[in-house]
Amino acid sequence: MKEVRRFLALTSLAIGLLHARPHPQDQDPGPVFEAASVKLARGGRVKVESDPGRLTVNDESLEVLIKLAYGLREYQFVGPDWLHAARYNIIATTGSPQPRSAQLAMLRRLLADRLKLVVHHESKTLPIYALIVGKAGPKLKPMDEHLQVPFELPSNFSMWPTPGGTTELRGYGSLGQLSDFLTRLVDRPVLDRTGITGNFDIRLLCAIDGYPGFDTSPTVFDAVQSQLGLKLEAGTNPVELTVVDHVERPSDH
């Protein structure tokens, strides 16, 4: 009899815990767009724009949208190659004015709902370069304060030919964005460790493989130091990664 009573007590406790555990549909889903259109892109100018009641995306890759929604740096994203080629147009509106941070949270939810995006997070210790301030101090030109603060997109930066037959990186953005670009030029992730916030008008003339002036231009290490007053310092560091586990193949939603 004691064993029976003990079994019934444990069963009741287990049932109580099961009912107490929050189910996904019972949890606060977080902010969502009031209305949203997600369509395959048919070309056009790449852009991501927002005002307090609307987020507009034109011809942007799914890879970039995931990075944007989760606030990821270049080196933090792990996903299949086809995400770079899958491009979407999105028009999403909110029921009331929302800051950009809230709209990006809504974008995360939208990608999960419409494209069935599933990710997980993990940490790895990797060889890195830390972008730090040089001994003489930074040489940075602030972005025109009358310009709208840009989303952190690869399209904010581009290569420009110079009269001397070399190539210059030009763009507007944060030093985190600059680090993302530098990650593509060196053999490891570049982490912004300058402690400098804000957005800048960035010009960097350096050797870029496959572009004019590669043999005659300064290395990226020398250019960063002489032209921007910054420095790339080798080391190792734990890196938080976001890994795409699942996402649907391109279609209109």
Domain end marker among 94, 115, 136: 115
Distance CA 95, CA 77 (A): 31
Distance CA 140, CA 151 (A): 19
Tell whether 148 and 96 lie within a shared domain. Answer: no
Domain end marker among 80, 97, 115: 115
Tell whether 207 and 129 lie within a shared domain. Answer: yes
Which whole number is the average pLDDT over 100-117?
Answer: 95
Number of domains within the chain:
2
pLDDT at position 21 over 50: no
The more confident residue out of 239 and 21 is 239
Q: How far is CA 128 from CA 131, 226, 243, in A?
A: 10, 21, 19
In a domain, 40, yes or no: yes
In a domain, 202, yes or no: yes
pLDDT at position 2 over 50: no
Global pTM reads: 0.78
In a domain, 11, yes or no: no
Residue 87: pLDDT band with limits 50, 70, 90: very high
Domain interval for residue 49:
26-115
Amino acid 154: pLDDT: 79
- Within 10 Å of residue 5's Cβ, how many Cβ atoms? 9
Question: What count of residues does the chain have?
Answer: 253
- Within 10 Å of residue 94's Cβ, how many Cβ atoms? 21
